[in-house]
Amino acid sequence: MSFVLGVDAGGTSTRAVAVAADGTVLGTGRSGGGNPNSHPVATAVAHLAEAVGECLTGLDVQDANACVVGMAGTSKLTDPAVAELFEAMWRRLGLTGVQVRTDPEVAFASATSAVDGTVLVAGTGSIAGRIRKRRLVSTVGGYGWLLGDEGSAFWLGREAVRTTLEALSGTGELGELARAVLAEAGVEVTDRATAWKRLITVANAEAPIRLARFAPLVSAAPDAGPILDRAADLLADMARAAREPGEDTPVVLVGSVLNGPVGERVRARLADLEVLTSDDGVLGAAWLAAVEAYGEHAARPTRPRVP
């Protein structure tokens, strides 16, 4: 049975899916983050290989007609040494002609068959992009955790820790967000000065991207409204900056951050536009692979979500 492969390699996880020509999902796979900007290249490659290998269980790789990989951190592949590590991995898996597409491109395709529009991605990182003929032609943001990622899970987590440090520096009662951050970090407040130093030590002891683990605390805390509002402002501004004046194409919201209270706020700020939501970027990658293999009217994957 012929099939295509779609892969979504993000900062937190890598998902792979095999889809038959009629849209039936034949196999799935999952592993750790495959973004070579967020992880050591060898680790990202290993995670991709694990997810795709699991996805291919019981299938003949010779029947794969196309493979599209949506990857955060595609800029890393401009390094020939890095690109060769990925190419060697594809060869080991028996795959040829693998297309690596930007994360925003597969994200947009996951929600709509439209050829033009805007995509706003806010997961571990964030980026807005202008899509033309299903290709990303310009971007706003997307600079990674060190230089940007405004409104992302990383940004929310960092703001949660910063807010907690500011609260510890004061004399007022610690709010619910601060208490949640301290609990997540394993920091006991015997005295504020010690807790302040300990929280900084804990945050700096891990990879910076690990700050994203504090993001769910922001969404849950009743006193985190200002952070949520600021995140929504930043993300909505990014989406509008990616569009041409008067453009009436859809805006696709993708990513874990946009599935909660930040997403609600972003929708309110974009209420004058057609806004769609999807969190299945891997299915967008699979559909782009299907279009490559079977043509413009290729069936979309029939399974609404991939674990």
| 279: pLDDT strictly greater than 80 | no
Which residues touch 49 (CB under 8 Å, ≥6 apart)? 89, 92, 93
Tell me how many domains the chain contains: 2
Question: Which position has the token pair 């038959």?
Answer: 20
Q: What 3-state DSSP class applies to 129?
A: strand
Q: How confident is the model at residue 103 (pLDDT cuts 50, 70, 90)?
A: confident
Judgement on whether residues 119 and 84 belong to the same structural domain of the protein: no
Judgement on whether residues 265 and 124 belong to the same structural domain of the protein: yes
pLDDT attached to residue 305: 53
Average pLDDT taken over every residue of the chain: 92
Judgement on whether residues 53 and 149 belong to the same structural domain of the protein: no
Residue 304 belongs to some domain of the structure: no
Q: Can you read off the two tokens belonging to residue 90?
A: 């594809």
d(CA 302, CA 180): 39
Which residues touch 142 (CB under 8 Å, ≥6 apart)? 104, 125, 126, 127, 128, 129, 148
Judgement on whether residues 19 and 62 belong to the same structural domain of the protein: yes
pLDDT attached to residue 304: 47
Judgement on whether residues 103 and 173 belong to the same structural domain of the protein: no
CATH code, domain carrying 46: 3.30.420.40
Residue 217 belongs to some domain of the structure: yes
Residue 197 belongs to some domain of the structure: yes
pLDDT attached to residue 196: 96
d(CA 123, CA 103): 11
Judgement on whether residues 142 and 36 belong to the same structural domain of the protein: no
Arithmetic mean of pLDDT, 15-38: 92
The domain of 11 spans 3-110+280-294
DSSP 223-291: T-HHHHHHHHHHHHHHHHHTSPTT--S-EEEESGGGGSHHHHHHHHHTTTS-EEEE--HHHHHHHHHHH
74 and 50 in contact (C-beta within 8 Å)? Answer: no
Residue 31 belongs to some domain of the structure: yes
What does pTM read for this prediction?
0.79
Residue 24 belongs to some domain of the structure: yes
Judgement on whether residues 118 and 105 belong to the same structural domain of the protein: no
Q: How confident is the model at residue 255 (pLDDT cuts 50, 70, 90)?
A: confident
Judgement on whether residues 185 and 287 belong to the same structural domain of the protein: no
Residue 306 belongs to some domain of the structure: no
Judgement on whether residues 158 and 262 belong to the same structural domain of the protein: yes
234-238, 254-258, 303-307, range with the lowest pLDDT:
303-307
| 294: pLDDT strictly greater than 60 | yes
